[in-house]
Amino acid sequence: MSKLITVFSAPKPFTNPHINIIQRNAIQSWLHLGDEVDVLLIGDEAGLAEVAQEYGVVQLKQVERNEQGTPLVNSIFKLAREASRTPLLAYVNADILLLSNFVQTAHRILAQCDRFLAISQRWDLEVKTLLDFSQGWERRLTETLKQRGRIHPPAGSDIFLFPRSEFTRIPDFAIGRAGWDNWMIYHACQQGIPVIDATPSWTVIHQDHDYSHLPGGKPHYDLEESERNLNLAGGMRSMYYILDSHWQLKDGRLRRPPLTLLRLLRKLELWLMPPEEQRRGWRWWIARRFRRARRFRMRES
């Protein structure tokens, strides 16, 4: 069977016990996706070489970094493209669990679309122990998700699936900091690449964690590197997210996403955003998204 997707990621150091657990869980879930998927781990963070060797995964060490030592997104994508041969690439955050419907969804998208960027909302789940990947693991995890999982608001993206010919030029964004994921969606829209919300078709599970692994224990959007990412992206106007998608994959077919109140408000926001608001700082934008996320959760509950 020929390979279809290369899943690649740039894990954090494995020194934090909880980060170690959830990253090991994530990597093992990718390795259980089947024979159509390759996995690449990028970087030389503490513990990564040992984990890559233990699981038999290719490690690409020579990633470029910024002055703070943070890996750069463009280097990560370049290394993955050069080391892979599959028609599709998928960047996945190293705390994300994937199920077999990820591969099924990729096939369905590819059958209907040559150029695309597939993204989705995630499910948040508290995971404190190593998962059991013996037979029936997907069923057990799905049951746990039904009991304790929480759908995340449609802001921020943890997974990007796209043909290998796309995203060959990316600014020097710092990975693991805010803003670069928003730019990915914005760039696709500007280039006429269909952005597909695959939330109804695949299961993307984010394992909860704190920010103790970041400088000063601050959230990623409160760091200077996030401010730089925002500037590289071109400012607030470039901060797109899932509500800006063109299509939604549901029941195996690409459809126009329903015009919900949230989508309508988002369209109005972009249309009405005056130049002075486009230039406002990162913290203003995050505070605004936080208020919207809180209202979203209230409507969902």
Give me the CATH number covering residue 219.
3.90.550.10
The rounded distance, in Å, linking the Cα atoms of 229 and 217 is 19
State the pLDDT at residue 287: 47
Span 81-93, average pLDDT: 98
**What does 185-226 look like in DSSP terms, one character per residue?**
HHHHHHTTPPEEE-TTTS-EEEEP--STTSGGG--GGGSHHH
Residue with the two structure tokens 């060959």: 168
State the pLDDT at residue 27: 98
8 A C-beta contact, residue 249 and residue 197: yes
8 A C-beta contact, residue 125 and residue 207: yes
Q: Using one digit for the tens of pLDDT, what is the confidence trace for 16-62?
A: 999 999 999 999 999 999 999 999 999 999 999 999 999 999 999 99
Q: Using one digit for the tens of pLDDT, what is the confidence trace for 141-197?
A: 999 999 999 999 888 789 999 999 999 999 999 999 999 999 999 999 999 999 999
State the pLDDT at residue 99: 98
Domain count within the chain: 1
Span 212-216, average pLDDT: 55
State the pLDDT at residue 300: 39
State the pLDDT at residue 160: 98
State the pLDDT at residue 183: 96
pTM of the predicted model, to two decimals?
0.88
State the pLDDT at residue 289: 52
Q: Which residues are paired to 9 by β-bridges?
A: 41
In the predicted model, is pLDDT for residue 118 greater than 90? yes
State the pLDDT at residue 156: 76
Q: What are phi and psi of 28, to 5 degrees?
A: -65, -35
State the pLDDT at residue 219: 57
Domain that residue 166 falls in? 5-300
The rounded distance, in Å, linking the Cα atoms of 44 and 115 is 32
Per DSSP (E only), the strands in the chain are: 5-9, 37-42, 58-60, 88-92, 96-98, 117-119, 123-125, 150-151, 159-163, 195-197, 204-207, 247-250, 253-255
State the pLDDT at residue 295: 45
3-state helix, strand, coil in the chain (%, to 5): 40, 20, 40
Span 263-277, average pLDDT: 73
